[in-house]
Every structure is written in C-alpha cells, then in structure tokens.
Amino acid sequence: MVETVKTDQNMLMLESRRIGVLLEFLGDRLTAARGLSATQAQMLLYILRYVKQGTSLTEIHREFGYSLAALSNILKRLRNHGYVRVESCLEDNRCKKIYATQEAVDLEPFLKDSVQKVYGQAYQGFSDWELAELDRLQKKVLGNLSAEKERHKATERSGAYEKSSATIEAV
C-alpha cells in the first residue's frame, strides 16, 4: 500500500523565498569585492552576452522580470561604475541600446567564477537526475505564475478599455 504524504504548500513557498534570499546573500558576498550586488552582476553577465549587438532595458526586463524602474536604477549604478554605456538606436531615438564596456569584459571571468561558486554551493550533492527534475518543476511553477500574470494583464487591459469606452459614451 502506498502512503500519500500531504505537502505543506505554505512551507514550500517559504522555503522557495528563503532559497532566493540565501542565493542573493551569497552572491552579494562574492561580488561585493568589486562593488557590485548579485543582481547587478547577473544583469551585467546578461549584457555581456550581447556585447556586440547590445541589448535593451525591455529585453533585460523580459529576462529577469524586475520592474523597469528597478532595472533603470541598476543600470545607472553599472554606468556609474563604468561597466556599461548607453547609446540611442539609429532607427528610433527613444530606443536605447546597452553595451558592456571593456571594463565589464575584463570583469567577466570574475563574475562567471562568482556565479559558479553560488551554483556549486546551492547544488552541492545533487545528482544530474535531481537537477533535471528540479529544473522541470521550477519551469512548471514559473509557467503557472506567468500564465496568471498574463491573465491579470489582460484583465487590466480590458478594464482600461471598458473605462475608456464608458468615458467616450458619456461624452
């Protein structure tokens, strides 16, 4: 007979939050020597992936999910450190491309090493199968949450449409 175990979903969420906090703490500790936070380091590594063609704040927002305001603040700090430069797009002056500087390129090995240390600590003792299963489950949770976020956005858009339609009718 197979015994069914009831999982405490509240504890799962709390533990997921703790994992995020501890990863951030460890990352911050490793990157602090260069005056960076873990979030700044992750964003800079993302920008370094697009060293030739550049990237945009919108693309970074899509990758990480942080608000544009928060990302703008991080970008400002990276610029102040001399790790990125921002240029207007040729096609559209409103569009800004973000490029890594040579200083960032020189820092890349340190950043990658720091990230590897965090991964090594977090996934110590995991088998390949366990990592694959964790990856699958995390993607499932992210898919569920992303679907809810999209439903919320659609509801907001339709609510805004209804309000604007009502305003037009009232006029």
pLDDT of residue 85: 93
Give the separation between CA 130 and CA 70, rounded to whole angstroms: 33
pLDDT of residue 171: 43
Q: Output the pTM of the full model.
A: 0.77
Residue 43: Cβ within 10 Å count: 25
The DSSP letter of residue 2 is: P
Could you tell me the residue ranges of all domains in the chain?
12-124, 126-171
Give yes or no for a contact between 83 and 74, defined as CB atoms under 8 angstroms apart. Answer: no
Averaged in consecutive runs of 10 residues, what is the pLDDT profile of the chain (171 residues)? 78 93 94 93 94 89 89 93 89 84 96 94 96 95 82 66 49 43
Give the separation between CA 106 and CA 91, rounded to whole angstroms: 30
- Give domain 12-124's CATH number out of 1.10.3720.10, 1.10.10.10, 1.20.1050.10, 3.40.930.10: 1.10.10.10
106: amino acid identity, one letter: D
For residue 103 the two structure tokens come to 């200083």
Could you report how far apart the first and last alpha carbons of the chain are, in Å?
Answer: 69
Q: pLDDT by residue (tens digit) across 101-133?
A: 999 999 999 999 999 999 999 999 999 999 999
Give the separation between CA 107 and CA 121, rounded to whole angstroms: 22
pLDDT of residue 148: 72
The DSSP letter of residue 38 is: H
pLDDT of residue 157: 64
pLDDT of residue 162: 54
pLDDT of residue 145: 87
Alpha carbon of residue 29 to chain centroid: 19
